[in-house]
A and B are shown apart, each in its own frame.
Chain A
Amino acid sequence: MEWLNTILQGILLGGLYAMFAAGLSLIFGVMRLVNIAHGDLIVLAAYVALVATQTLGINPIVSLIVVVPVMAAIGYVLQRGLLNRTLGDDLLPPLLVTFGLSVIIQNGLLEIFTADSVKLNAGAVEIQSIAVGGGLALGVLPLIQFALAIAVIGGLQWLFYRTALGRAFRATSDDQSVAQLMGLNNAHVFGLAMALSLAIVAVAGVLLAVRANFDPSMGPARLIFGFEAVIIGGLGSMWGTLAGGIIIGVAQAIGAQIDPGWNLLAGHIAFLIVLAIRPQGLFPKVHG
């Protein structure tokens, strides 16, 4: 029963990792940009939420109304003002620029907010749980987190395959130069993709900040979890990304159950096993 509990908690945590991964996967899919600053942007979103909750006196979950549009706007401006200039045939310039961005965000946050770890307080909901029988209880907050992850992934799937914007994303992903010749403004399409990516980052950042303490230096580790989830799931598959997040979450939970020191290691080992056995990921959609 203890193990069942461990696995259930791991699955719910996996939802959060899937959200870390979804935004990463989205922009890689649309514009072949590997965003090294993704984890730091999650932490930035957490601090934006911190400022929003403190100045407006609102619950962190409610603060999403502010944080999501703020991060989306940052994403659009960042893409059009900076990242679009790095895109081309070479993968290296965007990698270097986002790496630099990662350093800038970390140090900027350190200057403003210090290295002290902080946490967002969501109130009573944090300690509420639902008994599911057999002595098991699921926290309300992890359940909300998982439900939001499903909603985000499902929403992305719908957007990609059912809307004009998704069609534009897929067309641009297929062939940038022809997309332009068909009247798509790639700079704008990329801006919208990054805005969407950072909107998801905003949700992930707020959930992260409610779940545990955070400080300016914890972005890169979130980036790794996100990368691992994307690769386990297979590039280009949204539901695969969710599965990837869940696998890492469950592996971490099991590792921690065996020995608290094995928490992170177990997640990485699960990733390495998938990479060794099935390098294309579990549900690949993108080939080549």
Chain B
Amino acid sequence: MPDPILELRDLDAHYGDFQALFGVSMRVAEGEVVAVIGANGAGKSTLLKCIAGAMPVRHNAIQLYGVSIGGDPAHDVVSRGIALVPEGRRLFPSLSVEENLLIGGQLGRKGPWNLKRVYELFPVLEERRHQPAPSLSGGQQQMVAIGRALMANPRLLLCDEISLGLAPIVIRDIYARIPAIVAEGLSLIIVEQDVVQALKTARYVYCLQEGRVALQGEAKALTREKISAAYFGV
């Protein structure tokens, strides 16, 4: 296995007295798509929040290129090359589509992504570049959220439930762009409730159950029975 760009070592996370993650370990290699699946409340979003720097965690629990970044402030994590597509899109409502994208790129990290490339990936956004972000359809807003994260030119892109609340045809449309994103050499962690979509997209899958890794393996090797056992704990 090639050297991982991201490694989680025995990661715990807490909301006050409540422990949300228990000793999660994970590796993501260069150019690899990793899916994290699990039921509601299994800790998937918490896991991404920890990586993105939005949760206080042990410093050496998260390593990017061998450097400990656990608990670093979110804006430092972005400048090191990790960008998040947050759950529910969370666009800036008073900014136009283009301004939302520019906010993503304001740190000026070098890389293949810029406004022109994002518009090539999602041509519909160029037509609507000057519209306020909330005026777009859900699918288009999700494209803005992905574009905004890509504008940061990350090495690792975290996608939290990008299929949430979207019609199946729109979900297929968005997932169809993932290969073009991976082709630029960045790695992805996708958190999904849609297990079929996750298994289709990812090479390696982790299944969380109540804050613990209940199952992991290559997407091709996982059977439906194994997954539902890990998913529901029965």
Contacts and interface: CB of A to CB of B under 8 A. Distances in A.
A183 B75 contact: yes
Interface in A161-178: 164, 167-168, 170-171, 173-175, 177-178
Given A180-B54, A181-B84, A183-B107, A170 B74 contact: no
A207 to B, nearest CB: 31
Nearest to A177: B54
Given A183-B75, A185-B73, A178 B92 contact: yes
Given A167-B99, A171-B95, A181 B54 contact: yes
A211 B103 CA distance: 42
B185 interface: no
Interface residues of B, number: 25
Contact of A183 (B54, B79, B95): B79
B86 interface: yes
Contacts, number: 63
Contact of A174 (B86, B95, B102, B107): B95
A184 B54 contact: no
Contacts of A70: none
A181 B52 contact: yes
Given A171-B92, A174-B94, A181-B78, A164 B102 contact: yes
B200 interface: no
Contacts of A184: 75, 103, 106
B90 interface: yes
Contacts of A178: 86, 90, 92
Assign chain A's interface to a size class.
10 to 19
B106 A168 contact: yes
B104 interface: yes
Contacts of A185: 73, 75
30 contacts: A164-B102, A164-B106, A168-B106, A170-B92, A170-B99, A171-B92, A171-B95, A173-B94, A174-B92, A174-B95, A175-B90, A178-B86, A178-B92, A179-B103, A180-B75, A181-B53, A181-B74, A181-B78, A181-B86, A182-B106, A182-B148, A182-B152, A183-B74, A183-B75, A183-B104, A183-B152, A184-B75, A184-B103, A185-B73, A186-B75
Interface of A: 164, 167-168, 170-171, 173-175, 177-186
Interface of B: 52-54, 73-75, 78-79, 83-84, 86, 90, 92-95, 99, 102-104, 106-107, 148-149, 152
